[in-house]
Amino acid sequence: MQYGDMNAQERQAQETSWPVIDGSYIVGDPAAPVAVCTLTSEDLLKPLATAPGVAIVGEVQTANQGIERIIINVTANLSIRFLLLLREGVQAVPPWTIAERTCGERWRLPAV
């Protein structure tokens, strides 16, 4: 079930109970489909939190707990469909380019 399919009471319950874990983040629009992780770039938090379509923007403070917190908070919000990982000073690359380089022409991950 997506956020748009919920009735008003279900939406209010999700909005008041989300995010479920404290962390270094700023909540934008809880009904938006995008979550953004700025990795360690704290300067990107505020500008991205006000961007249209962004539900939450956060950074990773520690590798193990940070990733765990991201996964828990993102999966707790049924509206979030995308997770973007960003870092200052890195040129943006279209997602399909990354997928082609990583997965190959058949869109399958190579055997390791």
Q: Positive or negative CA dihedral for 64, 70, 72, 75?
A: negative
Residues of the chain with pLDDT under 50: 1, 3, 109, 112
pLDDT given for residue 69 in this prediction: 86
pLDDT given for residue 91 in this prediction: 54
Nearest to 38 by CA among 22, 15, 54: 54
| CA angle (15, 21, 22) in 5-degree steps | 100
Global pTM value: 0.65
Contact between 36 and 58 (Cβ < 8 Å): yes
Nearest to 73 by CA among 28, 7, 41, 40: 28
pLDDT given for residue 74 in this prediction: 92
